[in-house]
């Protein structure tokens, strides 16, 4: 497995390089260093001299890929791409264009994002799998039929509706929890109940239906018939055998998103005023802050790669036939 | 073992039920636990209940709080309460009036000619070579408590050469064990003015100020060289003189400007010209500070009524009363009607009234509005989504609070913003611009006039701004010297005065002008080619569907084709800079209440193309430019008004803009806030004057936020009703045999 992990790590480097290059190109196709300077300095009194000074100070005055003014290797290293993008590989995120420390910002925002994403993810997993197994148990009955109809209805509703409707009903009309906000420690509970509940309910329809499909496929297999034939209860068949054998497709979809939970959720965090990472990238794109954009894209792609590796490892845990080599 | 397996392993319908109800029990527990001490929907910590705290909102995180860099409205809300420039605006008087802030009196200004001869109080502007502003500060003003002022037993700074470990557990300057203060002196203001030239700080007004204070440019170059030599070191600005700025004595400093610049006194109300203690600059320059965001950009320091106690720009900013704030009292004079409005009731009382101000970040309008209605925010703006809920419009266009808001004791405050929004023509454009021979330029002028008439701003304001705007007649908004009301104040090219009010000229007149412009019915008189007007815009600006449809309709009425060229913000800015836009939508918020700050938007040397100034239309008229230069240095009075009238007449006739509107700012406040008066983005240090009736707020919050608990009970019961049959059915299936008792088919509930 060690060799496999090393190989995957090796694959990750060109992938991350490619992602960096793509981010760099896309960003600078839309924004020039002059645009960035004007955005940071404000449009009111920032003249051409101020724009030029800002670029020099922040290192945005360099050519993109080839610096003809330099000689030797410096022709390629003293460029915008190398100085601004490749430092990511040493995990030096540097400062945002407004001067704030990016690593500090990420550390501060990660906690609130996880406080919502993690319980939401776990609860959602438990509830959707349980409901899906129930529907499978009652398959081909009215309960199954109306359950699926309800799932389709729920997955057809926009997540905005759940958020706004949830806030209106629970926080405004019933006044049971704060409309929005966030606090640290145990006080966070009051603020987390509603967004977590909404994230669970919002994903219920699609999740339940997806897992039901997976379980239905499993339930017609020979081993299930054998289990029943030897007299196991339907509960034992479903939870001990079907669930275990259906874990491969479940893990494929689930494990890969675990690292990405750090990145937060844009909508939930915006509406519930949670100071998480969900909006950090969007705010940076709006502010034309390349330092933040490159850092967040890099972290996002790295987490995705980590998620994929973890998925592969998790296969070996649930299926002894899988060997990583 | 997977979680679901654990959940369902214990048999028994009751246990299943208990588990199913657990989430509700959890919610109920949270609700009831909260309800023991405060309303369950109260977003604030229990410890804050009943305290003299004002609750506000911010939507955009402040980017810069260093007074030398900060220049946006979002940041001003915080910064103006913390730092104190020498001058301020009178809180109640309108038009805005300057008064001393930390300064003992308004600055004495002396003028000198090139030979150094003093010219008296009202000099001929042409003769003035230097203007000298001498500012004397009040004695005994002290800075907020700060670790930079702390000293050890030997009198040396207590917190210098700190290690990363020393800083590890600190969240802000107020967490340091030892805090101290010292008296404000003139040298602190001189130090801050030097910071405008600091190469690492990128002050947005460096270039503007360097025009009048050339020493800033020299200092900038010197500091840039020093910065190259010592890129990470602290630059002690006391070692670098700034020509034109000097300390006269402990409390007096002098600024010598090149030429005459009367508007400089308004700049003296802005944080750019507040005080900066040298020891604070040195304190934050220590290694390891910036990594913790311990910078002046994060933690401004001042002598103002409040100090920044908590800075989490993603969630919450807290201002706490500065215990060292100087003796300052509530004003006893105001404008007409202020006494009746109760705004003079606190005359002579010591400021500030409020102990703490908590700003919470809300990015969305809906939760912000709901929390305002629940009493958790003390004041709110009105977004277009909740305009109808908040405000009623009468038949005559008069605005009042809706019954729902009035019943809650909410009050509506309105004010005209010192801003102008306009649709500008690019005067370098071959179709609408001022190019070609005299005849061509005259035709283009008539075309612009025709378009000015047909774009009905009254309708635009009514449809797209919920009536929150005043049609602009020229660049100067009401409330600023130079604006005129009544018949003399209308734009005669677009309006006539009938029945005691301004009435827009007819479509026929616009068509006549269009024909005279060489485009009868929207077609070229010679070639028959259709006239197409291109609006260059961003997709979220005038380019959005509803507004561009409205404009298309208006142009169609004139027979002119209209096309939107939507692009992103950067490309749009490029077009404006290169002068390749044809017709565009722009706006300007005045920095200070002087007509110069609005009329300069049409001053020729300020053209975007070439000078990259603020004249986005690239309008150039020699007569206007001459009058502007004359008006700029005149004191307010009939003579200045006469010059402004002439300038306005020129631009109204030339029509480089379709004069759009001056926005009306509407805001709501709960009845428990006293002394709140809109400052129109000019008077920004107003929080020290506001007062709260805490008991009234607590009572209202209790009354409005009684929790409704029956839905929890109902949800629990509904679950029982749904789950019981399911559990029963489950058990029936589990007990079912493969065949029925009769042996004729599957048993009840058996598997198919």
Contact A32 B570 (CB under 8 A): yes
Whether chain A has a CB inside 8 Å of the CB on B63: the answer is: yes
For the segment B419-443, the average pLDDT, to the nearest whole number, is 96
Listing from the earlier edge strand, what are the strands of the sheet with B356-361?
A: B53-58, B356-361, B316-321, B306-312
Contact A279 B363 (CB under 8 A): yes
- Residues of chain B neighbouring A174 (CB-CB closer than 8 A): 707-708, 711
- Residues of chain B neighbouring A178 (CB-CB closer than 8 A): 41-43, 371, 376
Contact B707 A175 (CB under 8 A): yes
The three-class DSSP label of residue B644 is helix
How close A149 gets to chain B, by Cα (Å)? Answer: 17
Whether chain A has a CB inside 8 Å of the CB on B120: the answer is: no
Check if the beta carbon of residue B37 is closer than 8 Å to that of residue A186: no
Contact B708 A174 (CB under 8 A): yes
Lowest mean pLDDT among A42-51, B104-113, B463-472: A42-51
Residue B10 corresponds to which tokens in the numbers above? 């214990």
Whether chain A has a CB inside 8 Å of the CB on B388: the answer is: no
pLDDT above 70: residue B31: no
Per-residue pLDDT, B752? 33
Q: Write down the CATH number for the domain with range B424-665.
A: 3.10.105.10
A142 to chain B: closest CA residue: B726
pLDDT above 70: residue B751: no
- Residues of chain B neighbouring A104 (CB-CB closer than 8 A): 291-293
Residue B681 corresponds to which tokens in the numbers above? 């983005």
Domain segments of chain B as ranges: 3-40+707-735, 56-295, 424-665
SS3 helix, strand, coil % of chain A, rounded to 5?
A: 75, 0, 25
User: How many other C-beta atoms lie within 10 A of the C-beta of residue B531?
Assistant: 22
Check if the beta carbon of residue A277 is closer than 8 Å to that of residue B316: no
The model's pLDDT over A82-116, given as tens digits with 9 standing for 90+, comes to: 888 887 888 888 888 878 889 989 998 999 999 99
Q: What is the DSSP string of B599-637?
A: HGGG-GGGBHHHH--SBTT----HHHHHHHHHHHTSPSS
Confidence of residue B740 (pLDDT cuts 50, 70, 90): low
For chain A, give the mean pLDDT: 89
Nearby residues of B633 by Cβ (< 8 Å), 6 or more positions away: B125, B128, B260, B261, B262
A266 to chain B: closest CA residue: B363
Q: What is the DSSP string of B162-175?
A: --HHHHTT--SGGG
Lowest mean pLDDT among A5-19, B283-297, B508-522, B725-739: B725-739
Per-residue pLDDT, B739? 61
Residue B629 corresponds to which tokens in the numbers above? 């230069």
- Residues of chain B neighbouring A100 (CB-CB closer than 8 A): 293, 298
How close B221 gets to chain A, by Cα (Å)? Answer: 11
Whole-angstrom distance, CA of residue A317 vs CA of residue B542: 58
The three-class DSSP label of residue B577 is helix
Whether chain B has a CB inside 8 Å of the CB on A108: the answer is: yes
Tracing tokens 């059915």 back to the chain, one arrives at: B729
For chain B, give the mean pLDDT: 90
Which stretch of DSSP H or E encloses residue A35? helix A33-41
- Residue among A106, A132, A110 nearest A211 (CA): A132
The model's pLDDT over A1-12, given as tens digits with 9 standing for 90+, comes to: 788 888 988 999
Confidence of residue B13 (pLDDT cuts 50, 70, 90): very low
- Select the residue of B4, B7, B40 nearest A175 (Cβ to Cβ): B40
- Select the residue of A47, A108, A233 nearest B207 (Cβ to Cβ): A47
- Residue among B534, B529, B440 nearest B520 (CA): B529
Confidence of residue B743 (pLDDT cuts 50, 70, 90): very low
A143 to chain B: closest CA residue: B726
Lowest mean pLDDT among B32-36, B111-115, B155-159, B318-322: B32-36
List the 400-429 stretch of B: residues with Cβ below 8 A of A.
none
- Residues of chain A neighbouring B597 (CB-CB closer than 8 A): none
For the segment B716-727, the average pLDDT, to the nearest whole number, is 84
CA B55 to chain centre: 18
Whole-angstrom distance, CA of residue A295 vs CA of residue B121: 58
The model's pLDDT over A140-173, given as tens digits with 9 standing for 90+, comes to: 888 899 999 999 999 999 999 999 999 999 999 9
Per-residue pLDDT, B5? 37
Domain segments of chain A as ranges: 2-90, 110-318
Whether chain B has a CB inside 8 Å of the CB on A41: the answer is: yes
* pTM, 2 dp: 0.89
Whole-angstrom distance, CA of residue B313 vs CA of residue B298: 9
Per-residue pLDDT, B383? 87
Q: What is the DSSP string of A194-249?
A: HHHHHHHHHHHHHHHHHHHHHHHHHHTSHHHHHHHHTT--HHHIIIIIIHHHTHHH
Q: Write down the CATH number for the domain with range A110-318.
A: 1.10.3720.10
For the segment B370-381, the average pLDDT, to the nearest whole number, is 96
Whole-angstrom distance, CA of residue B613 vs CA of residue A47: 7
Per-residue pLDDT, B745? 43
- Residue among B621, B217, B650 nearest B474 (CA): B650
- Residues of chain A neighbouring B42 (CB-CB closer than 8 A): 178
- Select the residue of B64, B573, B707 nearest A176 (Cβ to Cβ): B707
Whole-angstrom distance, CA of residue B378 vs CA of residue B670: 6
Check if the beta carbon of residue B310 is closer than 8 Å to that of residue B316: yes
A179 to chain B: closest CA residue: B367
Across the strands, what pairs with B118? B112
Whole-angstrom distance, CA of residue B294 vs CA of residue A291: 20
The model's pLDDT over B596-621, given as tens digits with 9 standing for 90+, comes to: 999 999 999 999 998 889 999 999 99
The model's pLDDT over B133-180, given as tens digits with 9 standing for 90+, comes to: 999 999 999 999 999 999 999 999 999 988 888 898 899 999 999 999
- Residue among B371, B374, B400, B376 nearest B388 (CA): B400
Contact B367 A49 (CB under 8 A): no
Which stretch of DSSP H or E encloses residue B130? strand B130-136
Does B95 sit behind a cis peptide bond, omega within 30 degrees of 0 on the bond before it? yes
pLDDT above 90: residue A137: no
Q: Write down the CATH number for the domain with range B56-295.
A: 3.90.76.10
Whole-angstrom distance, CA of residue A120 vs CA of residue A128: 12
The model's pLDDT over B503-515, given as tens digits with 9 standing for 90+, comes to: 999 999 999 999 9
The model's pLDDT over B53-80, given as tens digits with 9 standing for 90+, comes to: 999 999 998 989 999 999 888 899 999 9
Q: CA angle at residue A231 from A228 to A237, to 5 degrees?
A: 45
Confidence of residue B196 (pLDDT cuts 50, 70, 90): very high
The three-class DSSP label of residue A117 is helix
Tracing tokens 């104040």 back to the chain, one arrives at: B489
CA trace torsion B630, B635, B638, B641 (10° rounding): 50
Chain A interface, mutation test: which of B56, B63, B270, most A Cβ atoms within 10 Å? B63
Greatest alpha-carbon span in chain A: 84
Chain A interface, mutation test: which of B44, B315, B613, most A Cβ atoms within 10 Å? B315
CA trace torsion B504, B508, B512, B518 (10° rounding): 100
Nearby residues of B192 by Cβ (< 8 Å), 6 or more positions away: B67, B68, B272, B273, B274, B275, B276
Tell me what percent of the residues of chain B surpass a pLDDT of 90: 77
Check if the beta carbon of residue A135 is closer than 8 Å to that of residue A147: yes
Whether chain B has a CB inside 8 Å of the CB on A176: the answer is: yes
Beta-carbon pairs below 8 A across chains A and B? 185
pLDDT above 90: residue B727: no
Q: Is A280 exposed, middle or buried (0-12, 13-18, 19+ CB in 10 A)?
A: buried
How close B677 gets to chain A, by Cα (Å)? Answer: 27
For the segment B475-485, the average pLDDT, to the nearest whole number, is 94
Does B473 sit behind a cis peptide bond, omega within 30 degrees of 0 on the bond before it? no
Q: Which residues of A152-170 are buried (b: 16+ CB within 10 A; e: fewer)?
A: eebbeeebeebbbebbeeb
List the 100-119 stretch of B: residues with Cβ below 8 A of A.
none
B570 to chain A: closest CA residue: A35
Chain B interface, mutation test: which of A178, A231, A292, most B Cβ atoms within 10 Å? A178
């Amino acid at each position: 497995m060690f060799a496999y992990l090393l190989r995957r790590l090796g694959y990750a480097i060109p992938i991350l390089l490619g992602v960096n290059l793509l981010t760099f190109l896309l960003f600078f196709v839309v924004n020039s260093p002059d645009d960035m300077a004007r955005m940071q300095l404000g449009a009111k009194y920032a003249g051409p001299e101020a724009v030029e000074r800002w670029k020099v100070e922040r290192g945005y005055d360099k050519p993109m890929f080839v610096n003809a003014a330099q000689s030797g290797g410096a022709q390629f290293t003293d460029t915008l791409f190398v100085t601004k993008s490749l430092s990511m590989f040493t995990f030096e995120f540097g400062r945002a264009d407004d001067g704030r420390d990016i690593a500090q910002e990420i550390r501060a925002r990660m906690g609130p994002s996880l406080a919502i994403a993690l319980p939401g993810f776990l609860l959602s997993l438990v509830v959707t799998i349980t409901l899906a197994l129930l529907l499978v148990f009652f398959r081909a009955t009215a309960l199954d039929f109306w359950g699926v109809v309800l799932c389709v209805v729920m997955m057809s509703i926009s997540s905005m509706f759940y958020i706004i409707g949830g806030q209106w009903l629970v926080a405004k009309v019933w006044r049971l929890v704060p409309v929005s906000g966030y606090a640290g420690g145990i006080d966070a509970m009051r603020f987390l109940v509603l967004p977590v509940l909404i994230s669970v309910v919002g994903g219920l329809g699609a999740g339940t239906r997806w897992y039901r499909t997976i379980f239905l496929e499993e339930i017609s297999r020979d081993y299930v018939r054998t289990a029943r034939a030897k007299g196991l209860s339907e509960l034992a068949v479903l939870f001990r055998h079907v669930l275990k054998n259906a874990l491969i497709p479940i893990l494929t979809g689930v494990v890969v998103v675990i690292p990405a939970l750090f990145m937060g959720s844009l909508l939930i965090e915006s509406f519930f005023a949670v100071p998480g990472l969900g909006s950090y990238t969007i705010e940076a794109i709006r502010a034309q802050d390349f330092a933040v954009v490159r850092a967040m894209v890099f972290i996002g792609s790295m987490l995705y790669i980590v998620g994929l590796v973890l998925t592969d490892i998790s296969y070996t845990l649930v299926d002894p036939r899988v060997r990583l080599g | 073992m997977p979680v679901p397996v654990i959940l369902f392993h214990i048999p028994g319908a009751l246990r299943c039920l208990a588990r199913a109800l657990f989430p509700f029990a959890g919610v109920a527990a949270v609700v009831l636990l909260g309800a023991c001490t405060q309303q369950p929907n109260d977003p604030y910590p229990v410890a804050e209940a009943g305290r003299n705290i004002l609750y506000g909102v911010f939507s955009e995180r402040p980017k810069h709080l260093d007074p030398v860099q900060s220049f946006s409205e979002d940041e001003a809300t915080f910064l103006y309460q913390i730092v104190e420039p020498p001058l301020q605006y009178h809180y109640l008087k309108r038009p805005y009036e300057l008064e001393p802030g930390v300064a003992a009196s308004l600055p004495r200004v002396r003028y000198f000619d090139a030979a150094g001869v003093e010219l008296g109080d009202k000099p001929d502007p042409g003769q003035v070579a230097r203007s000298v502003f001498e500012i004397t500060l009040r004695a005994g003003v002290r800075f907020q408590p700060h670790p930079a002022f702390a000293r050890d037993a030997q009198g040396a700074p207590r917190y210098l050469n700190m290690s990363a470990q020393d800083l590890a557990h600190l969240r802000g300057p107020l967490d340091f064990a030892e805090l101290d203060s010292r008296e404000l002196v003139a040298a602190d203001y001189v130090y801050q003015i030097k910071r405008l030239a600091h190469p690492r700080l990128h002050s947005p007004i460096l270039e503007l100020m360097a025009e009048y204070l050339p020493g800033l440019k020299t200092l900038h170059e010197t500091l840039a060289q020093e910065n190259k030599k010592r890129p990470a070191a602290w630059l002690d600005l006391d070692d670098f003189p700034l020509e034109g700025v000097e300390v006269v004595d402990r409390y007096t400093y002098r600024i010598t400007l090149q030429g005459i610049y009367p508007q400089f006194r308004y700049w003296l109300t802005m944080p750019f010209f507040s005080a900066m203690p040298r020891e604070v600059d040195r304190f934050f320059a220590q290694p390891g500070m910036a990594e913790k965001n311990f910078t002046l950009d994060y933690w401004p320091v001042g002598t103002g009524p409040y100090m920044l106690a908590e800075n989490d720009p993603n969630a919450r900013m807290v201002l706490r009363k500065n215990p060292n704030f100087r003796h300052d009292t509530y004003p006893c004079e105001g404008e007409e009607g202020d006494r009746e409005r109760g705004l003079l009731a606190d005359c002579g009382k010591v400021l500030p009234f409020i102990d703490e101000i908590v700003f919470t970040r809300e990015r969305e309008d809906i939760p912000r509005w709901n929390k305002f209605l629940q009493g958790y925010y003390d004041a709110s703006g009105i977004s277009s989504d909740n305009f109808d809920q908040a405000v009623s419009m009468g038949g005559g266009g008069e605005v009042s609070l809706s019954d729902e808001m009035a019943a809650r004791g909410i009050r509506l405050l309105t004010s005209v913003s010192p801003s102008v929004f306009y649709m500008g023509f690019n005067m370098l454009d071959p179709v609408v611009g001022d190019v070609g021979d005299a005849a061509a330029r005259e035709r283009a002028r008539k075309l612009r006039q025709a378009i000015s008439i047909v774009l009905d701003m009254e309708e635009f304001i009514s449809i797209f701004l919920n009536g929150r705007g005043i049609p602009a007649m020229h660049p100067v908004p009401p409330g600023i010297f130079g604006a005129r009301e009544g018949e003399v104040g209308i734009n005669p090219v677009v309006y006539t005065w009938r029945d005691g009010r301004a009435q827009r000229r007819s479509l026929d007149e616009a068509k006549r002008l269009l024909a005279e412009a060489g485009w009868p019915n929207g077609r070229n008189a010679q070639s028959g080619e259709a006239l197409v007007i291109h609006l260059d815009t961003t997709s979220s600006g005038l380019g959005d569907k509803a507004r561009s449809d409205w404009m298309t309709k208006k142009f169609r009425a004139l027979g002119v084709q209209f096309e939107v060229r939507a692009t992103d913000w950067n490309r749009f800015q490029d077009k404006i800079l290169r002068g390749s836009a044809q017709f565009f939508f722009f706006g300007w918020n005045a920095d200070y209440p002087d007509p110069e700050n609005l009329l300069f938007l049409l001053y020729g040397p300020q053209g975007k193309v070439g000078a990259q100034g603020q004249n986005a239309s690239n309008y150039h008229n020699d007569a206007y430019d001459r009058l502007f230069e004359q008006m700029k240095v005149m004191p307010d009075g009939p003579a200045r008004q006469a010059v402004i009238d002439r300038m306005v007449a020129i631009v109204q006739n030339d029509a480089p803009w379709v004069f759009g509107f001056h926005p009306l700012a509407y805001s709501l406040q709960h009845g428990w806030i006293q002394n709140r008066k809109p400052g129109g983005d000019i008077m920004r240090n107003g929080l020290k004057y506001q007062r709260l009736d805490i008991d009234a707020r607590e009572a209202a919050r209790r009354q409005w936020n009684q929790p409704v608990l029956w839905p929890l009970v109902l949800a629990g019961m509904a679950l029982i009703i749904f789950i019981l049959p399911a559990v029963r059915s489950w058990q029936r299936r589990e007990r079912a045999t493969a065949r029925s008792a009769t042996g004729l088919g599957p048993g009840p509930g058996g598997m198919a």
